[in-house]
Amino acid sequence: MPSGTLRPASAQDAEQLCARLLAFNQKAGGTDFDEIPLQLASHDANGQLRGGLLGDICAGWLVIHVLWVDPECRGTGLGSQLLARAEQQARATGAHGVTLDTFDWQAEGFYLRNGYEVFGRLADFPLGHQRIYLRKTL
């Protein structure tokens, strides 16, 4: 067993770990794993945030981390507009797919209606619920 002690990682440790894994992945995968941020926001006439999408484009995929629409704006098409714009921007960078996850109480039906397909479910995340993984080919 290697000698040394385990301890919480410092910010510098975390940065080095990510850089070393990125270098390994780029060499082994033969592709660029640098992330291009993709961030969209929608505001009403009064400047109030009504929805938005946060993601990254990496290795030919758009990875959506956050898609949120104000409850008052749900059903208006705003969520679909955010997805469409993000997909359009991802295509412009050469991305060929989108992936995201949601929970069983969130928006599985919304994503299915927008052309996404489920490729995995993780039971009991949290206990009694499912985390659902979806993808879409661009």
Domain contains 27: no
- Domain residue limits at 101: 32-137
Rounded to whole angstroms, how far apart are CA atoms 86 and 137? 13
The count of structural domains within the chain is 1
What is the CATH number for 132? 3.40.630.30
Residue 117's pLDDT band, with cuts at 50, 70 and 90, is very high
Residue 1 confidence (pLDDT): 60
Domain contains 47: yes
Q: Is the pLDDT of residue 106 over 80?
A: yes
Domain contains 59: yes
Q: Is the pLDDT of residue 3 over 80?
A: no
Domain contains 53: yes
Domain contains 26: no
Domain contains 74: yes
pLDDT tens digits, residue range 4-48? 899 999 999 999 998 999 899 888 988 878 899 999 999 999 999
Question: Mean of the pLDDT values across residues 55-73?
Answer: 97
Greater confidence, 69 or 4? 69
Domain contains 66: yes
- What DSSP assignment string belongs to the chain? ---S---PPPHHHHHHHHHHHHHHHHHHH-S----EEEEEEEE-TT--EEEEEEEEEETTEEEEEEEEE-GGGTTTTHHHHHHHHHHHHHHHTT--EEEEEEETTS-HHHHHHTT-EEEEEEESSSTTSEEEEEEEE-
Question: Mean of the pLDDT values across residues 93-116?
Answer: 97
Please give the model's pTM, rounded to 2 decimal places. 0.89
Domain contains 45: yes
